[in-house]
Structure 1
């Protein structure tokens, strides 16, 4: 019983509570925060195995909050197929690479996402290019997801550029994140990265993640979303830089 109150478990609990708050405020960011924080105290492959279940539960709920699931699946199925193929191919990097290299890859993905989101101007994708770009974006997202456990780049800016309504965008993000999580779980299982202890901890992490989402939803009504987003991205950039430079000093 005492192992469930160890510092290791408490850090995991607080991490998913924090990640849930971010998702409650911003509508996304739970796996990104979880990978960034947990990647600083354990190998990226262990961190990825812990986030699978809470990420699936929270994103599956988000996927079915809107009315356009079938329409979005019909529109984005090539992107989703690309995510699955890319993740299964890229997961070899996460499960087989030197942990130091995996940490540098994770840190680089976090920094790239943070800097892009802070600096880049919104853009739009013409409808005539969508069918061509969707599988390419899906493959790129999948390879990064499989190699680092982060599935926001380039999927999030691409979906934001499609001109979807607010509700459809949230549902499309839920679809992309759910497919990415399932594909990551399959890649980790194939690489033998799932262990009984991690499955149990991942299941327990659902509770603080959902509590954090509830708190985050309440916070969203009281603070500036733009200010929160800016500091959240700065935090991710700092965590990512720490992961990148750590092998140089330790």
Structure 2
């Protein structure tokens, strides 16, 4: 407890747990957005680099739970089908994580928030963005590069991954397992990258470990919500969550 209270006051620790609980519920329901909600929520009162450290263990565990719930067989199929995208994301997370201490946090928020907000608003307005089969490899390269770079810098590669999967018109059950695999492997790379960068260290790891409790509870609630929604509702809910998160990231980038 001393290790935790030396980082944050009890009130701030409770606040961080509450934000993580909400992020776990959303993650369990739509398969993503845990790091986005944790970063944008906790970042209101906490240092951005401490927030990045805090999200690491919860996103590793939550993605493991997501993959195990879908089944290892489906997970292995997802790895084979999206191998190019997954490899690029993982490599770029490792590389870009080393630059988190030199790039201003407001720049990271704007770079992530603006494209996510615009693309989500367009699709919610009725315009469907669809990737034709002949462009899938190119889209995998571009989206993988962007996702991995943002993942290492801002701790979240969900928005570009989800937009990519939605553009491929991926069915709900398939999208959930693919997201779990991509986020799961990416979160391991994030863990390794920030052990190297020093963001996750002997002090901040205890903060991240504490957040495992509300994250797991939130996932349990979210899984039950997921089972009750159909494909179109799932797509709209996914885009709506992305839009709100994107707007909040833009707000944080502009406010500094």
What's the TM-score once normalised by structure 2's chain length? 0.83
Tell me the distance in 1 between the aligned counterparts of 2:246 and 2:144: 24
Which position in structure 1 is the counterpart of 2:18? 14
Is the contact made by 2:92 and 2:152 (CA closer than 8 Å) also made in structure 1?
A: yes
Unaligned runs of 5+ in 2: none
Matches of residues 69-80 of structure 1 in structure 2 within 5 Å? 69-80=75-86
> Are the counterparts in 2 of residues 118 and 233 from structure 1 also a CA contact under 8 Å?
no
Quick check: 1:82–1:136 contact (8 Å CA) kept in 2? no
Given the alignment of the two structures, is residue 117 of structure 1 paired with residue 120 of structure 2, yes or no? yes
User: What whole-Å deviation, never above 9, does each CA across 1:27-69 have from its counterpart, x for those lacking one?
Assistant: 2211110111122223332211111111011111212314422
What is aligned with 1:246?
Answer: 255
Q: Distance in 2 between matches of 1:134 and 1:107?
A: 23
Structure 1 length-normalised TM: 0.84
Q: Note if contact 2:117-2:247 (Cα within 8 Å) is conserved in structure 1.
A: no
Does residue 174 of structure 1 match 2:180? Answer: yes
Distance in structure 1 (CA, Å) of the matches to 2:193 and 2:113: 21
Distance change in 2, residues 1:228/1:172 (3 Å)? closer
Show the counterpart of 2:64: 60
Q: Which residue of 1 aligns with 2:30?
A: 26
Q: How much does 1:90 deviate?
A: 1.6
Residue 16 of structure 1: SS of its match in structure 2? Answer: helix
Map of 1:200 onto structure 2: 206
What is the total number of aligned residue pairs between the two structures? 244
Q: Taking structure 1 as reference, are residues 94 and 61 closer, same or farther at Cα in structure 2, changes over 3 Å only?
A: same
Q: Check conservation: 2:37, 2:245, Cα contact below 8 A.
A: yes
Taking the aligned partners of 1:229 and 1:154, their CA distance within structure 2 comes to 12
- Structure 1 range deviating more: 229-238 or 56-65: 229-238
Q: 2:152 aligns with which of 137, 146, 161?
A: 146
2:89 maps to which residue? 83
Distance, in Å, in 1 between the alignment partners of 2:80 and 2:34 is 26
The residue number in structure 2 matching 1:104 is 107
Stretches of structure 1 lacking an aligned partner (at least 5 in a row):
none
